[in-house]
Copies of this chain bind each other. A is one copy, B any other.
Amino acid sequence: MPVIDQSGMRRLNTHAVLRVLADTSGVVTNAELVAQTRLSRRTIELILADLIARGWVREADPPEAAAAAGRPKKYFAFVADRALVLSVMIVPPQVGAVVADAQGTELARASSRLVNDDDAAAAVHMALAVAGEALAASARDRDRLAGIVVGVSGTVGVDGVVHTSPVGPEWPGKDLRTPFQDAFSAPTSVENDANLVAVAEHAFGAVRDESTFVVLTPGNRVSAGVVIDGDLYRGFQGAAGELVRLPVSGPDLHEHPVARISSPHEAEREAARAILRRAAAGDEAAAALAREFFASVARLVATIGWVLAPPVLVVSGGLEGVEGIVRTYLGEALAALDLPEMDVRVAPLPRDAVLRGGVRFALDSLGADIFGID
């Protein structure tokens, strides 16, 4: 049980004020902060004075057409770029990086492509370069960097070491935390890319309204991101949701033509989508493939359902433009199975899901640390 003294109380209340500021886009007044924090105006004033001194808040000009009788309000604005986060993606053949401020606003990005998926050292080297590029492009002081998140295919331990990888044999055992931590001197965490997709679906995707859900990306890169009460659940060695080796998938599903729907290679995704479009257009051979594939996806959904019973399950992946077809075939396949009550949603990946999820995750996991509190 935590105990608290006056200075701890002040830290807590300062954090609450900063949270409100960070969640507000424009300028705020004293009165708004009082209403949202339930602290007295005097306390808000004192905390704001402190935050201004520490560079987190600045007095702002009143917005247009904000004139009323009485003494005019003071307006304050959050200095969002006083702290930055870096979100890096290493999903061969793609490498990317985004720099965002403490509000999650993207300030800069950079990306590149790898020539050889399995060359882990080259991939890390490229990712470091791309991250440096994005940081330079943000034109912000590097020592404002408060945290780094690296999203990568495969399972990763809390120590940032890749445990298993669908990419190639050179990846397991690779430490992805240290290079970034050393290069940019900021606390770094490494996460499975599907987990970051789940965070993205939560923050700006199909489950904005939920706090417990599973995001399933079916296909030859099948995996699931599990969020429970708003927190990612990783499992031991990050292996939660690693459904590739689940017996129900069916032994040769990974070779299935439609399974390429979740490939990181756009050409393969497009080939899979083409099959679905042909199926929808009446091609019987394509329809048979689709039924076969989604019967297997449905078995996965049922398995997750009976083990975890998430209120909501999102089927996400390379579904741009074929959501309707997916919904139809998956719905048919699900109807044939015994399922617990749950809301199965089909959604395309939010744009830049891994990188944007990484930004969100970095901000969430840094918590109060991003403000330099406790």
Contact = CB atoms under 8 A, between A and B. Distances in A.
A308 B310 contact: no
A369 interface: no
Given A247-B302, A302-B247, A338-B245, A307 B240 contact: yes
Given A236-B340, A239-B341, A246 B306 contact: yes
Most B CB atoms within 10 A — which of A20, A224, A239, A243?
Answer: A239
Given A15-B1, A236-B340, A236-B342, A307 B246 contact: yes
B303 A240 contact: no
B308 A308 contact: yes
B1 A235 contact: no
A16 B3 contact: yes
Number of copies of this kind of chain in the complex:
2
A248 interface: yes
Contacts of A238: 309
Interface in A4-56: 4-6, 9, 12-13, 15-16, 19-20, 37-39
Contacts of A246: 302-303, 306-307
Contacts of A39: 3
A228 to B, nearest CB: 6
A307 B240 CA distance: 5
Interface string A241-278: 11101111000000000000000000000000000000
A233 interface: yes
Nearest to A244: B306
Contacts of A306: 239, 242-243, 245-246
Nearest to A307: B307
A109 interface: no
A274 B240 CA distance: 37
Contacts of A310: 235-236
A308 B234 CA distance: 8
Given A235-B309, A239-B340, A12 B16 contact: no
A62 interface: no
Given A241-B307, A247-B303, A16 B1 contact: yes
27 contacts: A1-B16, A1-B20, A2-B16, A4-B9, A6-B9, A228-B228, A228-B233, A233-B308, A235-B308, A235-B310, A235-B340, A236-B341, A236-B342, A239-B305, A239-B340, A240-B308, A242-B306, A245-B340, A246-B302, A246-B303, A246-B306, A246-B307, A247-B302, A247-B303, A248-B248, A248-B303, A307-B308
